[in-house]
Amino acid sequence: MRVDVLAVGTELLLGQIVNTNAAQIGERLAAAGLDHYHQEVVGDNERRIAEAIRRSVARSEALIITGGIGPTKDDLTREALCGAAGVEMGFDDEFASSLREYWESRGREMPESNLKQAQVPAGAEMIENPKGTAPGLKMRVSGAWVVVLPGVPAEMIPMLERDVIPFLQGEAGADTGVVVSRMLRTWGESESKVGETLGDLFDAARNPTLAFLASAGEIKIRITARGASKEEAVALIAPLEEEVRRRLGPLVFGADDETIEAVVLGLLRERRWTLGNAESMTGGLVGAKITNVPGASDVYRGAIVAYDAAEKEALLGVSHELIEEHGVVSEEVAKAMAVGAADRLDVDVAVAVTGAAGPTAHDGRPAGTTVVAVLTPEALMARTLQLPGDRERVRLFAATGALHLTRMALQGVSWGT
Amino acid sequence: MRVDVLAVGTELLLGQIVNTNAAQIGERLAAAGLDHYHQEVVGDNERRIAEAIRRSVARSEALIITGGIGPTKDDLTREALCGAAGVEMGFDDEFASSLREYWESRGREMPESNLKQAQVPAGAEMIENPKGTAPGLKMRVSGAWVVVLPGVPAEMIPMLERDVIPFLQGEAGADTGVVVSRMLRTWGESESKVGETLGDLFDAARNPTLAFLASAGEIKIRITARGASKEEAVALIAPLEEEVRRRLGPLVFGADDETIEAVVLGLLRERRWTLGNAESMTGGLVGAKITNVPGASDVYRGAIVAYDAAEKEALLGVSHELIEEHGVVSEEVAKAMAVGAADRLDVDVAVAVTGAAGPTAHDGRPAGTTVVAVLTPEALMARTLQLPGDRERVRLFAATGALHLTRMALQGVSWGT
């Protein structure tokens, strides 16, 4: 089944936002074994949206549209869909009532313009939006399926994963088979090195196939198999997964949706150890990542963000003599921050991050220099990393790096990799 | 002059990279006053690239293609251009010699595959690439201009700015003018309410035009004008901006690239006040946002993340009697957290966030309940918000909400909106 993707929004054409939705959808279509050859972007113009829909349904079996279904007057995808399909606009009274109830439950009066979201082209079905109020739409146009999703990625992606991809896979039918993907997640080596280690497997792979994906310092290895049934596809993946894991050893920290923060919390929970942290360059990002995991509170106690050097002494007991001798971006200071955090927060395991986020050098250390220290009941370790990229990227890599080094410390994996 | 944009690359369709080139080009076309209504993406497939070229030259006066002109076998844009234009492939001996010289000057032997870059469709002109070896191409196809640039942004952008935009502006002639956009950023009202408040302006707007964009709790209003000169376009925007600001009043917190964290830091810097914060449900996210702004360190001192209830007493001095009486998710506790943070961190302004991030209720308060308190040398305030969405979204909205309420406290704007 060929699936096209169309993004609607003048802000995309003006370059005010980047079309990440197309990449998110493309990645999931590929994983689902659905063919995808065309992406388009048009602005908030009813005629051009309708023309783009007609172009797609003429060449492909399905089209996923993102954007243009909000409550304001420049949201025109519903109208264009009516135009392309040659149908009238309907209205869903039941959904309109549920919208009113939603606003009332939040103690606010609903602006009438929200009722635009209850408009449904004749013959279209609504797709539930668990993260927002604008429902998606699904309808048949000239023999092809047209699916409309919100432009906001946080709303679009869950609807895509939960409803749209399984639906299109079902429509694609028996010739597609079932495609199952397994993602192994690694940290600590470059993409080229991981690629070389698995090079012969990559060349030999037909079904399952291997793919590499680098994102935010992680290298992911995706194993994708197509089988007549899910069981068959899973069975095809197993031996290749085993071989990949054997070669990569402790570089692999998790699979599929397991984030490093969930892995770290799991390891600590097993041992009944509590966790706290001290931060400087990351300003709270390590704690923010950890606490994004539901149920973190049974392990995680809190953090001290000592952004200013004087706060490192006041809040963490890091002496200014130590800071003067070694500099704030040093393994000595990072270790003292971890020890101070463990003491003040009364936790078993403490992780500390200090560094130069950029854009300029900090305390004589070039931008990107990051020091992580981990204190456990068994050891106190520190490591210096040189991280690439701009300030935002360095901070993100520093926060994830701190979590990865915590994982390695807890599992007794060498930090020298 | 209408200009289309086509990106070539299977990696874009697979979602392995995001099409930032389209946004970069779109932004520069808008600034140059060139119309831009269509963007497309196709993979490394000669037939589909050629079809996309034919589609564009039929509807627009120019097409900018990025990608597919490297030295490997899957680089097929030159061949597709020959196909779409119905011309033969030529070869530029002079450029081939310069390529060899380039490799020799670096003391390396040139792989023969690089000679692909000396291929030129009959009738095409080369565009110099100051940052790489693959030159661009420019040729007339069915009465339209087709421009081909490398897919690597660092090579593409300088060629675009130096050659392509001025060339297209020249071709477009005097009727083009200049397009200028102004973005007003608001917080505190729904998109539908903002849309209604400005509804008649939206309907009446021709030049400048109005558009709405919702992202992460912010509603943005874009005013776009076309004028003969930049000054004329700016002058067209001014009265509409003034009217929008008059109607929205203190909802508008900034313009264009100003983030709420930068606005808050700016307001504090003016008064020479220092900032610190206490967090619970957000786990460090407020501090992480603030410290993402370069130069935050002259205002921001640090944070205490008291995730566990006991830490609120140990680290912030919030008595457990107060917590027992009002619950951890209460205005009383949030205020006590702000007071404790100001004391422990020795800062002038402290902001505190506590709440139930979800997915389940916390201490009897439903998921999404968020309490923000702000202490300044002039006042101590707290407010309870009911935030929509899942855990990640609630936490993000809570962190930005805390910053917005801090802005309002500093500017003496009512929190009742």
The domain that contains A139 carries what CATH number? 3.40.980.10
Taking residues B305-329, report their average pLDDT.
95
Instruction: For residue A221, give its domain range.
Output: 178-255
Taking residues B129-133, report their average pLDDT.
83
Distance between CA B275 and CA B263 in Å, rounded?
A: 13
CB contact under 8 A, A301 and B311: yes
Q: What is the mean pLDDT of chain B?
A: 92
The domain that contains B221 carries what CATH number? 3.30.70.2860
Q: Which residues partner with B218 through β-bridges?
A: B215
Query: Which among B13, B37, B287 has the least Cβ separation from residue A42?
Result: B37
The two structure tokens encoding residue A269: 């929970």
Q: Please name the residue of chain B whose CA is at the shortest distance from the CA of residue A359.
A: B294
**H or E segment at A225?**
strand A218-227
The two structure tokens encoding residue A299: 């392990």
One domain for residues A268 and A381: yes
CB contact under 8 A, A14 and B37: no
Whole-Å CA distances, A370 to A282, B294, B409: 10, 17, 35
Q: Comparing C-alpha atoms, which of A32, A33, A65, A25 is closest to residue A49? A: A65
Query: Which among A41, A71, A305 has the least Cβ separation from residue B39?
Result: A41
CB contact under 8 A, B12 and A39: yes
Last residue of one domain, picked from the residues A211, A231, A255: A255
CB contact under 8 A, A308 and B297: yes
The two structure tokens encoding residue A331: 């393994």
One domain for residues B152 and B61: yes
Instruction: Report helix angle B46-59 to B77-85, nearest 10.
Output: 50
Q: Which residues partner with B215 through β-bridges?
A: B218
Domain assignment present for residue A312? The answer is yes
One domain for residues A10 and A152: yes
Instruction: Report helix angle B260-271 to B391-411, nearest 10.
Output: 30
Q: What's B128-161 look like in SS3? A: CCCCCCCCEEEEEECCEEEEEECCCHHHHHHHHH
A residues 47-76 near B, CB within 8 Å?
A: 48, 70-74
Instruction: Report helix angle A260-271 to A391-411, nearest 10.
Output: 30
Walking along chain A (417 residues) 10 residues at a time, the average pLDDT comes out as 96 91 92 90 97 97 96 92 97 93 85 91 95 92 97 94 92 71 88 83 85 76 84 94 96 94 98 97 97 95 95 95 96 98 98 94 92 96 89 92 96 75
Distance between CA B149 and CA B134 in Å, rounded?
A: 9
Which chain B residues have a beta carbon less than 8 Å from that of A11? 211, 213, 222
Cβ of A397 under 8 Å from any chain B Cβ? no
CB contact under 8 A, B40 and A39: yes
CA distance B18 to chain A (A): 6
One domain for residues B321 and B377: yes
Domain assignment present for residue B44? The answer is yes
One domain for residues A197 and A219: yes
* DSSP code string of B34-66: -B--EEEEE-S-HHHHHHHHHHHHHH-SEEEEE
One domain for residues B31 and B133: yes
- In this structure, the number of other CB atoms found within 10 A of the CB of residue A385 comes to 18
Ranges assigned E (strand) in A53-190? 62-66, 89-91, 119-121, 125-127, 136-141, 144-149, 178-187
One domain for residues A138 and A11: yes
3-state secondary structure at position A267: helix
Distance between CA B151 and CA B67 in Å, rounded?
A: 4
Last residue of one domain, picked from the residues B223, B255, B287: B255
Domain assignment present for residue B219? The answer is yes
CB contact under 8 A, B308 and A300: yes
Cβ of B346 under 8 Å from any chain A Cβ? yes
Last residue of one domain, picked from the residues A230, A255, A280: A255
Task: Provide the pLDDT for residue A417.
Answer: 40
A residues 79-98 near B, CB within 8 Å?
A: none
Task: Provide the pLDDT for residue B174.
Answer: 55
At residue A267, what is the residue type?
L
DSSP A163: I
Residue B204: exposed, middle, or buried by beta-carbon count in 10 A (0-12, 13-18, 19+)?
exposed
Task: Provide the pLDDT for residue A366.
Answer: 92
Task: Provide the pLDDT for residue A416.
Answer: 57
Q: Which residues partner with A184 through β-bridges?
A: A221, A255
- pLDDT tier, B116 (very low <50, low <70, confident <90, very high otherwise): confident
Give pLDDT tens digits for A285-308.
999 999 999 999 999 999 999 999
Domain assignment present for residue A417? The answer is no
CB contact under 8 A, A15 and B38: no
Q: Please name the residue of chain A whose CA is at the shortest distance from the CA of residue B389.
A: A131
B residues 255-314 near A, CB within 8 Å?
A: 279, 281-288, 290-292, 294, 296-297, 300-308, 310-311, 314
Q: Which residues partner with A225 through β-bridges?
A: A180
Query: Which among B23, B195, B357 has the least Cβ separation from residue A18?
Result: B23
Residue A30: exposed, middle, or buried by beta-carbon count in 10 A (0-12, 13-18, 19+)?
buried
CB contact under 8 A, A301 and B307: yes
CB contact under 8 A, B305 and A303: yes
CA B288 from centre of chain: 19
Give pLDDT tens digits for B378-393.
999 999 999 988 898 8
Query: Which among A36, A71, A106 has the least Cβ separation from residue B13?
Result: A36
Q: Which residues partner with B179 through β-bridges?
A: B226
- In this structure, the number of other CB atoms found within 10 A of the CB of residue B14 comes to 18
Domain assignment present for residue A416? The answer is no
Tally the C-alpha atoms within 13 A of residue A143's C-alpha that lie toward its C-beta: 7
B residues 198-257 near A, CB within 8 Å?
A: 199, 202-203, 211-215, 222, 224
CA distance B129 to chain A (A): 23
Distance between CA B312 and CA B306 in Å, rounded?
A: 5
Domain assignment present for residue A18? The answer is yes
One domain for residues B134 and B185: no
Check residues B138 and B171 and name the one with the higher pLDDT: B138
One domain for residues B250 and B265: no
Domain assignment present for residue B416? The answer is no
> CA triplet B359, B360, B363: central angle to 5 degrees?
135
One domain for residues B35 and B133: yes
Q: Which residues partner with B144 through β-bridges?
A: B141
One domain for residues B251 and B359: no
The domain that contains B308 carries what CATH number? 3.90.950.20
Total domains in chain B come to: 3
Task: Among B19, B53, B256, B370, pick the best mutation site for testing chain A contact (most A Cβ within 10 A).
Answer: B19
Give the list of residues 6+ apart from residue A169 with CB closer than 8 angstroms, or none.
A32, A33, A34, A176, A178, A179
CB contact under 8 A, A16 and B224: no
Instruction: Report helix angle A46-59 to A77-85, nearest 10.
Output: 50
Provide the terminal-to-terminal Cα distance of chain A, rounded to the nearest Å.
Answer: 43
**H or E segment at A210?**
strand A209-215
Which chain B residues have a beta carbon less than 8 Å from that of A45? 37
A residues 143-162 near B, CB within 8 Å?
A: 152, 154
Beta pairing, strands A218-227 & A209-215: antiparallel
CA distance A321 to chain B (A): 20
Beta pairing, strands A136-141 & A178-187: unpaired
Domain assignment present for residue B397? The answer is yes
One domain for residues B107 and B145: yes
Give pLDDT tens digits for B30-54.
878 789 999 999 998 999 999 999 9
